Amino acid sequence: MTNGAVAQRPLRFAIIGAGMSGILSAIKLSEAGFDDYIVYEKAERLGGTWRENTYPGIACDVPSHLYSYSFEPNPEWSHRFAPGAEIQAYFEGVAQRHAVNERIVFGTAIDQAEFVNGRWNLTTTDGRTDTVDVIIAATGVLHHPNIPHLDGIESFAGASFHSARWDHSVPLDGRRVGVIGTGSTAVQIVSALVDQCGAITMFQRTPQWIGPQENPAFSEAQIEQFKEHPEIITMMRDEISRGFADRFSNAVINADSPEMQLIEAVCKAHLEDSVHDPVLREKLRPDYRAACKRLVISGDFYSAIQKPNAELVTAGIQCIEPGGVRTVDGQLHELDVLVLATGFRVDRFMRPMNVVGRDGLLLDDAWAAGPVAMLSISVPDFPNLFMLNGPNGPVGNFSLIEVAELQIAYVLELVEEISAGHCTQISAGREATAAFDAARKEAAKTTVWATGCRSWYLDADGIPATWPWTFDRFRQEMAAPKMDHYERI
């Protein structure tokens, strides 16, 4: 459908979630002439992951000129990798400029979505109802904090919180701070806090490969140039995107590729060159392939962890006590603040919303063996419901904005089938979805993610639940739906 075209069959839409994908969906629906939509947002503020994650040091390790909407370049990014608060402000600005705010119902979570008589009946957690023709689920991936079951955690006498629930009322100056985890989040927190707190202790279950990164600030002159010549931003964006596709996405899907070996060599050299104490260096050295877990990118973590007030604890956690963390070697690590940088439950997607599809089919039952969707967008027997950044799509080190933009254009083509009156219901075909999922799982075997490590990429069967082909192939798939893969009624 071309921008500005008028829908032939009036359709009402619900967008669920006002994060990056939800804001994008609202803008693109308006542009396509679909004006009857509402955005349900459970929180009181938009922004999704950037609203929820406010921990010290938060930034996006995808370059900001790529981690922006293609239609809303931002000449004013302060750094190559902008801090989280700037990204949150960017989304708020975009939403305001495109009048998305007034379409958002804040503080309203959808409890149930049920497909009845060809439409979706929605019930909010406070008992309100709505009926829509199409749902766009923009509910995020890294969204549900993973709170580990650590013995005695409730007994801790200091402040304790998950990294995505940062309590800014807790003072940190001069305090003894413990951070459980070694993922991208923990690395950013430790790097940011080491000079502020009295002592910082990182509890490592598994070491991480860390790619080096410089984060230069853009000068005023550069920013002026971006403003005057937005085409420079477009060029930079294309170049970064191309580089990601050629060097990163092609590498990780082929564990034996020269590109993958290059990434590995860069990470190894980063460790060798940065960490001087051989004991600490060996503690930090992973015994699995680089990028098997989501690659951590940081230019300052190795320097932070070598500071005199930083400690890396590799003994396992036995329990939490009022005074701190006791490790299995019997030592008590005394702490005032304990941060759980322990990641997210990544198999939830739209849930805990109770989604009931055609003939009473529960999403929980359809996904009993794990989340499955055609190209991460559509689930058989859940007609006229489309996900952005749904299961098994490109995640990890990619720009999820780039991914979501490709997906929404594809979704609009599916919607066009209904709007144009070619059908009233459209959802991925069962056989086509099963074939897609089998091919995806087969392809995943040769990716670096399947080379033997524990990571959030892996599903319950240990199969990487992410796009296992090139990013170019993803682009091609998103260029136009193969309608024979869809069931249209």
Q: Which residues bind ligand NAP (CB under 6 A)?
A: 59-62, 142, 148, 163, 180-186, 188, 205-206, 294, 317, 341-344, 396, 454, 456
C-beta of 78: minimal distance to ligand NAP in Å? 15
* Residue 163 · residue 322 · CB < 8 Å: no
CA distance 110 to 311: 44
Task: Round to the nearest angstrom and report the end-to-end CA distance of the chain.
Answer: 20
**Where is 101: in which H helix or E strand?**
none
Q: What is the dihedral of CA 349, 355, 357, 359, to 10 degrees?
A: 140
CA distance 76 to 87: 11
C-beta of 144: minimal distance to ligand NAP in Å? 12
CA distance 148 to 154: 12
Task: Give whichever of 242 and 454 is closer to ligand NAP, judged by the CB atom.
Answer: 454
Residue 58 to residues 52, 77, 84, 86, 187, Cα–Cα distance (Å): 11, 15, 5, 10, 10
Length of the chain: 489
Q: Classify each residue of 268-293 as buried b or exposed e, where b means 16 or more C-beta atoms within 10 Å of its C-beta.
A: eebbeebbeeeebeeebebebbbbbb
Task: Give whichever of 124 and 206 is closer to ligand NAP, judged by the CB atom.
Answer: 206
Is 83 strand, coil or helix?
strand
C-beta of 329: minimal distance to ligand NAP in Å? 15
Task: Give whichever of 132 and 142 is closer to ligand NAP, judged by the CB atom.
Answer: 142
C-beta of 197: minimal distance to ligand NAP in Å? 19
Task: Give whichever of 29 and 66 is closer to ligand NAP, judged by the CB atom.
Answer: 66
C-beta of 74: minimal distance to ligand NAP in Å? 17
* Residue 106 · residue 44 · CB < 8 Å: yes
C-beta of 319: minimal distance to ligand NAP in Å? 11
Task: Give whichever of 292 and 412 is closer to ligand NAP, judged by the CB atom.
Answer: 292
Task: Give whichever of 128 and 205 is closer to ligand NAP, judged by the CB atom.
Answer: 205
Judging by DSSP bridges, how do beta strands 134-137 and 337-340 pair with one another? unpaired
C-beta of 400: minimal distance to ligand NAP in Å? 9
CA distance 328 to 325: 10
Task: Give whichever of 47 and 380 is closer to ligand NAP, judged by the CB atom.
Answer: 47
Rounded to the nearest 10 degrees, the angle between the axes of helix 400-419 and helix 20-31 is 40
399 backbone dihedrals φ, ψ, rounded to 5°: -80, 110
Q: Within 13 Å of residue 162, how many CA atoms lie on the same side as its CB?
A: 15
C-beta of 438: minimal distance to ligand NAP in Å? 26
Task: Give whichever of 66 and 341 is closer to ligand NAP, judged by the CB atom.
Answer: 341
Is 266 strand, coil or helix?
helix
**Which residue's CB comes closest to ligand NAP?**
183
Residue 284 to residues 261, 325, 328, Cα–Cα distance (Å): 19, 20, 19
| Nearest residue to 469 (alpha-carbon basis) of 482, 481, 459, 478 | 478
Task: Give whichever of 227 and 454 is closer to ligand NAP, judged by the CB atom.
Answer: 454
C-beta of 148: minimal distance to ligand NAP in Å? 3
C-beta of 191: minimal distance to ligand NAP in Å? 11
Task: Give whichever of 108 and 397 is closer to ligand NAP, judged by the CB atom.
Answer: 397
Within a 10 A sphere around the Cβ of 40, how many other Cβ atoms?
Answer: 24
C-beta of 24: minimal distance to ligand NAP in Å? 18
Task: Give whichever of 344 and 410 is closer to ligand NAP, judged by the CB atom.
Answer: 344
Q: What is the largest CA-CA distance in the chain?
A: 70
